[in-house]
Amino acid sequence: MSEINLVDIIRGRRTILDYKPKKVERDLLVELLSHASYAPNHHMKEPWKLKIYEDEARSVFGEKVVDSYIRLGLLKTLNEEKLRKARKAYDRFFNSVPHHILFYMDKEDDGGYIDDENYAAICAFIQNFQLLAWEKGIGTMWTAKETLRDEVFIRDIGLNPHNQRLVAVVQVGYPNKLPKGKERTPITESMEWIQTSTIR
């Protein structure tokens, strides 16, 4: 891939909210995830683990997510009727996305620098995957909500909150609509060049 194509993919990628019902072929998903695993990771630990929810599993996964929202108080302003409608809306959303990929990792030092390194490696993996998917016309949405720290939710999906850390859920599918891009703040506004012997 030439540099200009890579730049176009990076700048052209969009977060997709609206998906076609068509599933991404499993072989293609595996291929893209395999390529994405060439992300930088310290000591070649390859810390990423994935659960891919599709078909009937989407509704069950969505129910557990909404249960977590309620537990965490994220929907506390809704009365019973509005909550019922919200559940239906969330169910429609989860079933409208062909694949939900949960990224997680095993804890090694319970929040120390090794876990930080592993978390960062998985984030690099996810961005690799998003760019590779976009090149193939596949859209994604990277989400990281409070649910990922909900110990009950973590147990509900078959993991142990003391041994595993959730990193993100990425929605995957062919885009139905492409949103407009948003301009970025000039990077120079976030840069500082240090050249003298005095560092503060």
Burial class (CB in 10 A: 0-12, 13-18, 19+), 99: buried
Report the percent of the chain where pLDDT is more than 70. 98
Per DSSP, 21 falls in state S
Residue 114's pLDDT band (boundaries 50, 70, 90)? very high
pLDDT value for 38: 97
Q: Which of 18-27, 72-81, 118-127 has the lowest mean pLDDT?
A: 72-81
Q: Which residue ranges make up each domain of the chain?
A: 3-190
pLDDT, tens digit, for every residue of 120-179? Answer: 999 999 999 999 999 999 999 999 999 999 999 999 999 999 999 999 999 999 999 999
Query: Tokens in use for 168?
Result: 């993100």
CB 121 within 8 A of CB 39: yes
pLDDT value for 135: 96
Residue 3 has pLDDT above 80, yes or no: no
State how far the Cα of 94 lies from the Cα of 59, in Å rounded to an integer.
Answer: 6
Residue 110 has pLDDT above 80, yes or no: no
Strand-pairing partners, residue 117, are: none
Tell me phi and psi for residue 165, to 5 degrees: -125, 130
Choose the most confident range, by mean pLDDT, from 77-86, 110-119, 165-174, 191-200.
165-174
Put simply, whether the predicted model's pTM sits higher than 0.75 gets the answer yes
Residue 76: CB atoms within 10 A of its CB come to 9
pLDDT, tens digit, for every residue of 37-51? Answer: 999 998 889 999 999
State how far the Cα of 112 lies from the Cα of 71, in Å rounded to an integer.
Answer: 28
Q: What is the CATH number of domain 3-190?
A: 3.40.109.10
Q: Report, as an integer, the average pLDDT of 104-131.
A: 94
Residues 6+ apart with CB under 8 A from 102: 50, 51, 52, 53, 157, 166, 168, 169
- Half-sphere exposure of residue 188: CA atoms within 13 angstroms, side-chain side: 0
Q: Report, as an integer, the average pLDDT of 64-92.
A: 94
Mean pLDDT for the chain overall = 94
